[in-house]
Structure 1
Amino acid sequence: MRSMSGNIGANIRRLRLARGWSQSDLARRVCRAAGLRSAPVGRQEISRYEVGKRVPREWLPVIATVLGVTVQDLTAEYQPPDLPLPSLDDYLPAGDPLASLSGRRGPRIGAETVDNLRQRVHGLRLADDVLAGGDLVRPALRELRSAIRLYREKSHSADVGLALLSQIGEVAQIAGWIASDAGQHEEAELIYRLGVSAAQQAGDATLAGNLAGSLAYQMTNTGREAEGSRLARAALEEAGATAPAKARALYLDRVAWSHAKTGDAQPAMRALGEAGEALTRADGEPEAPAYLYWVDEGELQIMESRVYTELRRPLRAIPLLRDVLSRYDATHQRELALYLSWFVIALADANEPEEAASVAKRVLTLSTQVSSERTASRVRVVLNRLEEYRDVPQVRAVLDAA
């Protein structure tokens, strides 16, 4: 059970993120609501409230008013609703987009059509390696709609229908990821839920786990940490013990990240260890699904370093980040900017502001070259973290330039 300060901090953060405000935005609104021209409550003070280092006390009624809630709402223990794994009946509206139309017209399609769709979906994944969500969201959604039309409107055998459902699940996973990267989180959630339903109808538990885990990852990163943590664990269970080793490694990584975001260090590190053990078993298995092509030791190392950074353990995070970033593919600009942003935070936590400023400059340069809300959000985190070191000339130069 959280302490009173922990409840208040968690509620302030949840409500702030739900409104799309930065900590600086909330601080300005609080001062404005109090009728103050100066800023006795700044970004750093909001940060201290949110992590439970300080209780707002006299500012609590003002913060509650700004957030549109009562003081009791801010002090109550937050109990997010239970989130079962998505299913077709629970989440798809009337007029199910995956329902086959009676009296379908048009030529009968076969395995070749499914293979063509599979190649286009994988091409979309490869494009996402080097392009960002803002560039790809339109073609991704067109591909998803096209796949659904094939399933609903064309004649096909039962086996081809199941294969089409699997491909709808796969295109939904990458389309949801792309939409999320473009900042379209509600759209992404609908896409992920649709994909889970398609995968479940196809009997593909591994794919359903990947989709549910992707949704859990988005929840974890957008202020719904408790829901994300439960869904990440449910995604792992959905895939089952017989899932490919790479799949279990990925799903365990997401579990680790969700625990890190809720500050649960021991479960996070335990899941990291299990992910590493799972990946070591991948070599002796048949080939994993194509959508897991990117899961390797380097990606697990990146997640490990991110978890340690989130848990404020920079001495563990920094060597890992130095190692993996020294050999990271520079053509993957979005991911490089994201991973460098965690390096900045780890360096700042280790009281190395000069090097943090140097890396932050690279993050800013890379972020201007990609149309990614995920990257833009990390830039804001970096700049907020560096404010503490504004008196350091190198840091001040970066902040002023930004």
Structure 2
Amino acid sequence: MAEDRRRREFGQYLAGLRRRTGKSQRQLAGLLCALSGVQSVTRNEVSRWERGGRVPEAWLPFLAAALRTAETQLQQAVAYARGDRLAQLPGAAATLAELLPPGDPLEPLTARTGHRIDAAKVEGLAARVHALRLADDVLSGGDLIAPAFRELSAAVTLHREASYPDDVGRSLLVQIGELAQITGWIASDAGRHADAERAYRLGISAARQAGDGPLTSNLAGSLAYQWVNAGRVQDGIGLAQAAVDEAGDDAPGKTRALFLDRVAWAHAKAGRAHAQEALRALGEAHDALGDDGHSEAPLWAYWVSREELEVMDARVFTELRRPLRAVPLLADVLARYDATHARELALYRSWLAVALADANEPEQAAAEAVRVIELSGDLTSDRTAARTRTVLERLREYDDVPEVRAVLDAHGHLLLTGP
């Protein structure tokens, strides 16, 4: 619903203000208590605001002081969250449709008004695209969506308006495709699924024009992954398999492993009837990763590794309700995982929590649920918010277990902040 979306966007806006002041949710809660003289704001309450579960109208004067923001700006944000059609969220990212030209965004202008560019200009864009990927490793979609949209819009404008030799034009199309993929991923993480799909489709067009098969497959596979997670499972299965087919057997091993992992996930989301297809795709993904006989993997596949494939193995096992296979894998990977990647840690621990619940270990599942909530509290990620709700929903089966009951009593409000 539009009202739910507006509240979530308000929450992301509030979280961004807090992070810019360098405060944690707990620190902000303490400061609000000190400023107001009322000891009633907790970290959980701040988390509820930032997830869009509640709009803190009564606290605006104190929030303005704590976040060093004009109260009128916060009032405007609250009006937006409440559904005022004339209100705009301060500093919110425009939709991608508003930033791209109408019609075919990649159609060059007949009379190009821009200056002539060379390979160095495209190399600079490539460096910014990779910097955005690296930022996504440690930041969430709500933090990165505005700069990602700006970069993609600027790159499309450059393609349409500048002049360049053919080889530079092809390289520019490749970078637009790569930028569209990470922008789509960021938009999806921010809960902006329509914008994400628009970015992915733009990128597919650019990659195909550039003749880059693996990049086309990466974009198609990214869109398939979003479709599957949004409930379009059969469509996602078809598109994920098409991405594998388009890449072909000559694609670098890392990229084929990634595309096959997406096929495995799509089949796992289809349920146990698709278990064999899912497990077969997992095996093929491991075989592909170990195949060094193909060309060097592109830079955008830098994160694909044996460890990441094991995470997908565990996710598939969890989805297929095979906890005895999922739990050891996840525990091993999490013991070695980079602590700066908070979103991925929260996501992977969420699967561990569900697998432990499936293994009839509710006390351990409750402990993992707390870790998931603590990790995701400061993130502007729709993915971690959705997984938190999944974990809490799964724990409800054990609400007679004291440890589980304590988690549900403290954090059950997060179940009310979904789409």
Name the TM-score class by shorter chain: 0.7 to 0.9
Q: Which residue of 2 aligns with 1:268?
A: 278
**Does the 8 Å contact 2:250/2:294 carry over to 1?**
no
Distance 1:220 1:205 in 2: 22
Structure 1 gaps of 5+ residues are 1-15, 21-91
Q: When the two structures are aligned, how many residues end up with a matched partner?
A: 313
1:331 corresponds to which of 322, 340, 344: 340
Distance 1:207 1:128 in 2: 19
Provide the residue aligned with 1:118 in structure 2.
126
Give distance in 2, aligned partners of 1:332 and 1:238. Answer: 31
Q: Is the 8 A contact 2:251 2:294 kept in 1?
A: no
Distance 1:373 1:105 in 2: 40
**Does the C-alpha gap of structure 1 residues 233 and 278 become closer, same or farther in structure 2, counting only changes over 3 Å?**
same
Counterpart residue number, 1:251: 259
* CA apart distance, 1:286: 4.0
Give 1:358's match in structure 2, choosing from 344, 367, 378.
367
Of 346, 350, 370 in structure 2, the residue corresponding to residue 341 of structure 1 is 350
CA distance in 2, matches of 1:362, 1:242: 42
SS in 1 for 2:336: coil
**Identity %, equivalent residues:** 64
Determine the C-alpha separation between the residues in 2 that align with 1:227 and 1:392. 39
- Per-residue CA deviation, residues 181-230 of structure 1 (Å, 9 max, x unaligned), is 00000110011001000000000010000000000000000111110011
1:202 aligned to which of 210, 227, 246? 210
Shift of 1:103: 1.3
Give the unaligned 5+ runs of structure 2. 6-99, 412-419
1:238, distance to aligned residue in structure 2 (A)? 1.1
Q: Pick which of 210-219 and 92-101 moved more.
A: 92-101
Alpha-carbon separation, structure 2, partners of 1:162 and 1:229: 30
TM-score (norm 2): 0.73
Q: In the alignment, is the contact (CA less than 8 A) between 2:114 and 2:158 conserved in 1?
A: no
Verify: 1:218 aligned to 2:232, yes or no. Answer: no
Look up the SS of the partner of 1:326 in the other structure: helix
- Computed over aligned residues only, the root mean square deviation of the Cα atoms, in angstroms, reads 1.5
1:84 alignment counterpart: none
1:51-70 alignment, distance < 5 Å: none
Aligned-pair CA distance for 1:241: 1.3
- Structure 2 letter corresponding to 1:294: W
- Are residues 1:279 and 2:283 paired? no
**Aligned-pair CA distance for 1:107:** 1.9
Match of 1:105 in 2: 113
**Matched ranges for 1:12-23 at <5 A:** none
Runs of 4+ deviating beyond 6 Å? none
Asked if 1:393 corresponds to 2:402, the answer is yes
Match of 2:382 among 340, 362, 373: 373
Q: What SS does the corresponding residue of 1:371 show, helix, strand or coil? A: coil
1:171 maps to which of 166, 175, 179:
179
Shift of the alpha carbon at 1:152? Answer: 0.5
Q: Which AA in structure 2 matches 1:159?
A: D
CA distance in 1, matches of 2:135, 2:354: 29
1:95 Cα deviation after fit? 2.2
Q: Distance in 1 between matches of 2:103 and 2:169?
A: 19
In the aligned structure 2, how far is the partner of 1:107 from the partner of 1:137? 28
Shift of 1:242: 1.0
Output the TM-score relative to the length of structure 1: 0.76
1:332/1:99 CA distance change after superposition, 3 Å: same
d(CA) in 2 for partners of 1:164, 1:222: 31
C-alpha deviation, 1:93, in angstroms: 9.6
What code does the residue aligned with 2:149 have?
L
Distance 2:247 2:296 in 1: 16
